[in-house]
Amino acid sequence: MVTILKKWKQPLSDIFALTRFNEYVIFVVVTTLMGAMIQETPIDWRLLLVLVANWLAVGFAFMFNDIEDAEDDACDPAKAKRNPVSAGRISLLRAYSITFCVALAAGLIYFFLGLIPFFLGMACLVLGILYSWKRIRLKRFPVLDLISHVLMLAGLQLLCAYTIFSSITATRWIAPFIVVIAVSMYGELFNEVRDLEGDREAGIKHTAAMVGKRAAHILMVVVLVIAGLALMYTILIGLVPWWLVGVLAILGVILLLRPIIKIKRGTMVEASKPFQTPVLLIGAIGLAIWLASRLLGF
């Protein structure tokens, strides 16, 4: 038994590394719960299903990206070590097989959640391919890289959760949609600036490569301001309860105090990195508390 466990431990570890689950697990919770909570109908078991489907769909995008980028990542020691395909720990055939099994599982769950969530989910999976597939590679085109990224990793997840419980014709989703896509756009610009030199060597001319680091930093500030304004509007029109603002403030004091104390001077990318996970945790925990209160009838 011990021998069998040891035999499977490394392959499973490599598969998990390919999913890069830790990089999006919290953000998908935020986008999914946001989409479900802003509507007025009762929440039921379908929320758990759409959360799993969204995790799988985003996971598929990350996995397919690593497969398509394996050759380029092999030229960077850090990326080669992280990417199990580049490192040769998973064969291309196995990686593709596992990745499309993940896409199939996501598609099946979306199918059982309804017609609109199914089409939105399939759009997410298609974008996951077009974003990284070398024959098209949307991420190499300025502006298109941002649009495809924010839809497949944020906006569509919110809409999948929202349309399970409410009609897409209702307008309650618009402001929260702007919040999550603006935050996601900040994340994409952050990654582009961080990987700018390597991407230039690989011939990827995304938005940050086109406008340069300084302009990219300005864009990052702009989208964060847009996210903040959209969130304030969401609160002011009553989509988010005022008591939740107090909860978020308390969580902010608890989770952001340490990064603030330890903040170091540097570029915006370097200075903001320690805040990313705590901010996502604040959003996820706050939304989970809101969900619990709603399920308990408070």
Which pTM value belongs to this model?
Answer: 0.91
Q: In which residue are the tokens 């107090």 written? A: 246
- What is the rounded CA–CA span in Å between residue 146 and residue 189? 8
Query: Coil, strand, or helix at residue 195?
Result: coil
Q: Is 122 exposed, middle or buried (0-12, 13-18, 19+ CB in 10 A)?
A: middle
| Token pair listed for 152 | 């497949």
pLDDT (tens digit, 0 to 9) for every residue of the chain, 298 residues total? 444 445 455 678 888 889 999 999 999 999 999 999 998 888 999 999 999 999 999 999 999 999 998 887 777 777 778 888 988 889 899 999 999 999 999 999 999 999 999 999 999 999 999 999 989 999 889 999 999 999 999 999 999 999 998 887 778 899 999 999 999 999 999 988 888 877 776 667 889 888 888 899 899 999 999 999 999 999 999 899 999 999 999 999 999 888 777 766 656 566 677 788 889 999 999 999 999 999 888 7
Name the nearest CA neighbour of 122 among 135, 141, 136, 103: 103
- What is the rounded CA–CA span in Å between residue 30 and residue 114? 21
Residue 104, CA distances (Å) to 39, 45, 61, 64, 113 in order? 28, 21, 13, 13, 14
